[in-house]
A = this chain, B = another copy of it.
């Protein structure tokens, strides 16, 4: 039961003038006499008048609301991104609606459809792990709702993108391990169906090549979460796989690796170095503290939102841009100090 707010009509009635005059007076339109303006502004202030945003949206066909689709809100990296999005959105008078796909393609399509039929002026999306089709995004595009990808994108869909330099980050991490003297570096990789997994693997491989270290393909295994890291690490230890470092596709995996290594009496970093990816807050809490590649989630959110605003405000259809953000290797105690 919302009590109705004061409207332009109320002010007009009270002042015995027309709503149009009030509207123009409030906008400081040159046609209106100073006397009238003063009257209107005074009363508006007294009555604490605020323009009704819904009426404005209807008239302007513009809501200043944007939608965000994210695989998991409950995730340090993604919530950092949301934080950055929020910051820039607030600064520019935009509101943000967030929905999560829970890494489920069907759910992703569903929330996109909901957004499409709602009021949003634009969409920021990081697609689910299983998204390969993009019909749902094409439909948004068709209705003139601009789409900007962050972190995870669809290559075939031509739109603005903000990405992490996964390749460079992985390259730097791996190279650090090589320079540290490691020669049998394992990589716990993410799904190769996604660019992130692919690029991090690529960086890992390329660092070997550039530094003249031979690559043993058997050192790369598929493992990208805490639980399976516990299992896989135990397995390679039991099987007697020889390795002196592990570079993982994310920090959860690294946490599982470190835990299992330590439990088996393997010294980290003396016997085996570990580097994660993401700089989750937990990286400082585990023992030893985790060396990891920092992904600038907050900055990513800021940039993505800025790109979307530009897109929304631009009349003409600009060529889509891709922005690639640099990573930074955070050295902690799962690697030796140099």
Contacts and interface: CB of A to CB of B under 8 A. Distances in A.
Given A74-B83, A285-B282, A58 B54 contact: yes
A117 interface: yes
B259 A119 contact: no
Contacts of A259: 285, 287
Interface in A33-76: 50, 52-55, 57-58, 61-63, 65, 73-76
Interface residues of A, number: 57
A255 to B, nearest CB: 4
Given A285-B259, A286-B287, A121 B2 contact: yes
A32 interface: no
A150 to B, nearest CB: 15
Q: Copy number in this complex?
A: 2
25 contacts: A1-B144, A2-B62, A3-B142, A3-B143, A4-B61, A5-B143, A52-B58, A53-B118, A53-B119, A54-B54, A54-B63, A58-B58, A73-B79, A73-B82, A74-B80, A75-B79, A79-B79, A90-B99, A90-B114, A96-B99, A97-B97, A226-B284, A262-B287, A285-B286, A286-B287
A119 B119 CA distance: 11
Interface of A: 1-5, 50, 52-55, 57-58, 61-63, 65, 73-76, 79-80, 82-83, 86, 90, 95-100, 111, 114, 117-119, 121, 142-145, 226, 252, 255-256, 259, 262-263, 281-282, 284-287, 315, 317
Nearest to A262: B287
A80 B143 CA distance: 33
Nearest to A77: B74
A158 B317 CA distance: 51
A142 B3 CA distance: 8
B83 A73 contact: yes
A259 B2 CA distance: 52
Nearest to A98: B98
Contacts of A262: 287
Contacts of A3: 142-144
Nearest to A139: B48
A95 B99 CA distance: 9
B144 A2 contact: yes
A143 to B, nearest CB: 6
Given A54-B54, A58-B54, A86-B98, A74 B79 contact: yes
